Each structure stands twice: as structure tokens, then as C-alpha cells.
Structure 1
């Protein structure tokens, strides 16, 4: 079975002897690292590029996600660092996303082929895998969180954060809404563990800081690796997902148009 992992630089050594793959897609090249764990093929994709040199708005999201699809990956776990809008998700704590709101305005976030259902944007079965893994490891993880996706690269104003809080958002980030939408269009089961690296603007007197963000990620790398490896163990061969079903319905609804465009 193949499992995809999306995250930052701390996951390059998730398992031993990972091999670099360069996957050419119609949207550009995706760089993926392949290894194995517990009889599963693991494919790690560094979201921000091999050298972490792409800011959130510069990431080639379509190439990244299409590379995973071309490798035959149907289940993906992702990690994202977020700013917390609530003291209920303190710095250094983990949460599972279950809903997102996308307010980006400068992104390509579709493959432009069909409409796909997104009532539940994150796979419930994969989320349950993570919850069970956290339980076995004795890790505390908040089971639900609403994520708002912003363009970046700047951080948010205190007023923006206050509005997002009033909308019912719990965490803010710059990548996940785009990634989740593309994953669903490709029929990829997708779930996200987020790590709170700071309290968002206006939530505290301490402003968001990139160095603090990096240090929190570094301090929690081993915890995250342990959680992801245990979650991978939990994923079953041919595990069903609402994402797979939504994808098939989308293809069926547009089959005549898709067939015509292929000819």
C-alpha cells in the first residue's frame, strides 16, 4: 500500500534510506522522497520545495498534488503549522482539521475539469486513524478545528484575526485550503494534523515571529514523526474514503465532456 505524507523539512528522515524522485507533471515537477515502513510504501512530499524556498503563495500546489496522484497514492496525511486563534489550542499543541474556509484571492486552486463535493473536506477514516494513533502514543490532540486559509506571505492584522474568530475559526494558515481542494479533485483521501506555532495577531501581546515558529516546529518534530508513523500503521489496505466516492461521482457527472476533451 502507498501512503503520502506532506510536510516541512523535518520529515525528510521520517524513515531510513529515502530515495529522491522527480515526478514530471503537466503543471511542473514535483519532488518526492520514497521509503518504506511496516510493509507500506511511504512518499514524503516537501510542500515548500526541496530547500524550503517557496513561500506559501509561490508553491506549485497543482504539481505537488498531481505528482502524488501519478505515483498511485490514494491516501495522504499532511502536517501544517498554524497560528492559533484560541487559547484552547496553545502553542505547541496538536489539532486535527475537520473544516476549512478559503479567503485566498491569488491562487490557482482547481484543475478546471469538474465540480466535486466538499461537505467534509478531510477524510473521516484517516482522521480516525490519527486519533487512534495519538491514543496509543499517549499524545493529546484536539479532534476538530476550523482552519482559515489566507494568501500570505504577510501575517494577518489584529482586525482580520478578530473577524476570523467571530466567523468561528480556530486556526489560520497559508497553505491548506488550496491543498485540500486539489486533493479532493484528484480523489485523494486527505487528513491534516496542525501544530500551533504561535497565537495569532491580537490574541496575545507577543506578535507572530518566524524564528519562534521554526523553533516550535523543531521542538515538536519527534512527536509529529511518532504520530505519523503510528497513523501509517493504522491505515488499512484499500481503506475507503468519502474522497474516493466524491471523485467517482464527479467523473461520472462529466464523463461525456471529459471524453470529448480527451479526443
Structure 2
């Protein structure tokens, strides 16, 4: 999926709009899908806040996957990894069709990066071509950043809070993601897993990855006794 990416990163190809469990986030998903409709006057910035592990990165990967399918020029950067980059990676990104900025809260204590992102947003506004999708654990007004002007820029567009999935949706997610791997995960096994692990999306997918690996190694079906043994519940 990285043929159109402006940065040399490899994004997961199994996190798309097609397998994102919407739950109570229908308006947010509709807003992101509308970014690809030329008849819609989309805001320059779509800001997504929410707790860690609720699926914010999944939505950014989904935007990238959709843009890639349409042959658009994409930029994705995870600000939790800024130690790997120079601020120069933000130069010229205003020419992209879509710019996905993950974990903007990670810029706390990095004023140079805050200034660089501020300048990028201003360039995007001036050219009026790219669309920014930005995530953080708190809304623009609640960010603890040293550059107030950046916080005000983050609030220029529309802002959503990504809601955590309820139990039924979590089980649906587990069953669906298991099915994508060719694994049959009965609902009762999904419920058992949900009741005994952390309920954030990242932890659940980590548990599913482990079960996938062990079930292949041992040629076992996903039953409650197997899950209990495999994950040491």
C-alpha cells in the first residue's frame, strides 16, 4: 500500500474502512469517506481524539488505503517516531492530496516540531489542496503543547472524539478479523477473550495475533479451553 506514500513507511494492509467496526462512530467515518467525494466541500483539517487503543491509527491507515486505491499522493507520519525523522520531512507535504498525522500529542516538549507542523498547516491553507487528518489523545483545546498557535490551527477544521466499542461490537470485530485470517472464532470464545483481556482494540488484536500463531502451530481450533491455555488466563 505504500506506492504513493511520500515517506518510506510500510503501513498495515489489513486495517481499512472495510474492516473498521463503526459502532457509535458513524458520523466520523462518514466524514472521512466524504474526503474522497469531489462534490463535497471538505474541511481542511479533520481532527480525531480518543483514548489510546480505540482505533485512531486504524482510521488513518484506512484513509491511506482508500487514497492509495484512487492513486492519490499520500503522506503518513507517526509523531511518536519523530526521533527517526528530521523536521525537514514536513517540507513540501502541502503538495500531497492527503496528509495523515498520527499522535500529535507526542509533540509535547518538541517546540521545533510544533513550529514545523504549524508552518505546514499554514502552507496547506495557502495552497488549499491537501486535506489533513490528525489524531491525538485529547482535543485541540486540551492539548498540552508549548505553541498555542498550533493548538488554534488544529481547531480550524472539524473535530471528533472516537468512541470506544461496546462489548457486542468488540466481539464482532474479533470474529471479523479472525475470519479475515481464515480462522473460525465462535462468539462465545470472543466473549470469553473479551472478558479476560484488556478491552482496547490494540490489546485485543495482540491477543488475536497470538492465538492465530499458536493455533497454526498446534493445529488447534479456537475453543475456550485452548484460549485459556494459550493466553494463560
TM-score by length of structure 2 reads 0.29
Structure in which a larger fraction of residues adopt strand: 1
Structure in which a larger fraction of residues adopt helix: 2
> Which of 1 and 2 has greater Rg?
2
